[in-house]
Amino acid sequence: MPGMVAMGIPRGALEQVVEGEILYDEPMSRHTSYKIGGPADVMVCPRSAQGIQTALRTAREYGVSVFILGGGSNLLVRDGGIRGLVLNLYGTLKEMRAEGEEVTAGGGAKVTALVNFCARRGLAGLEPMAGVPGSVGGAVKGNAGAFGATISDHLAAVRVLELTGEERVLSREALRFAYRQSSLTEEEVVVSAAFRLRRDDAAALQQKVARILAERKAKQPVEWRSAGSVFKNPPGNFAGRLIEGAGLKGTRVGDAMISPKHGNFFLNLGRATARDVLALIALAQERVREQSGISLELEVRVVGEP
């Protein structure tokens, strides 16, 4: 319908009530680490928590679906894009503060920034998250992990905003964390997360962070566009090892390729489409199932229209 966007919000309605940038038919490829994805009907980039609430209230008023976007690092958006409203939190909720041995970070803060913030202040516990891409909110929701640790190991509490506008504080004990997942839903915006850490030598912590980053660079194709690990590791095994065992390293569909360095990283060589990546995903699942009987489960989120 002329003058309408996001399947129901009148054009101009968001600009009147939300302080921040409003983008129409915005390519999601500009907002994901894969640099892949069709257009969002409308993307709202609020400048404050109040702006987030206003955008949610407007979407609810017009019956429009909302997709919460953080850092876009564990995300594959299909080539048809996303219908409705995309709420982009990566430019807001970035504040971090330390009080004693507790650090609180906004849900839109980068995980890497949080790790460095803590290390410089001699607060230990989050160093294994060095190099983990994306936002704190996304990492908590997906219980991001590396080197045998997870971000929930030192979590004390989270403040969430529901799509209804209700705000709640949830303790670590009230949340159910498992391998690469939590009980937080897609209808909850992580406004902030508090972590309980311990005192240590700041110089030693910064050196540890540097070592972890160097190890990541040696083992993972960090120089290429990707969404990180595509599959979850099956119990007692590694997805990358299974994919390598199936002879798929270096396999290419269009401009998407399974990394020759690490079998669980699928790369965008420059002009890959979501269809290319999904074809590689299907191939890897089929070959690994044939060879080992193991069904690989996706870690990367796949969203949007074909």
Catalytic residue among 182, 226, 229, 259: 229
Burial annotation 246-268 (CB, 10 A radius, 16+ → b, else e): bebbebebeebbbbebbbbbbbb
Q: How far apart are CA 125 and CA 119, in angstroms?
A: 9
Q: Are 155 and 195 in contact (CB under 8 A)?
A: yes
Question: For residue 82, which of 40, 137, 143 has the smallest C-alpha distance?
Answer: 40
292 is catalytic: no
> At which residue do the structure tokens 């609810």 appear?
60
299 is catalytic: yes
**Residues contacting residue 64 through CB under 8 Å, at least 6 positions apart:** 6, 7, 8, 9, 84, 85
Catalytic residue among 172, 180, 225, 275: 180
One-letter identity of residue 52: I
The pair of structure tokens assigned to 291 is 């060879």
Q: Are 117 and 103 in contact (CB under 8 A)?
A: yes
Catalytic residue among 26, 127, 188, 299: 299
Q: Are 88 and 44 in contact (CB under 8 A)?
A: yes
Q: How far apart are CA 298 and CA 180, in angstroms?
A: 10
Q: Residue 300, SS3?
A: coil
120 is catalytic: no
The pair of structure tokens assigned to 156 is 């004390």
The pair of structure tokens assigned to 19 is 């302080």
Q: Residue 239, SS3?
A: helix
One-letter identity of residue 16: Q
**Which residues face 194 on adjacent strands?**
104, 157
Catalytic positions: 180, 229, 299
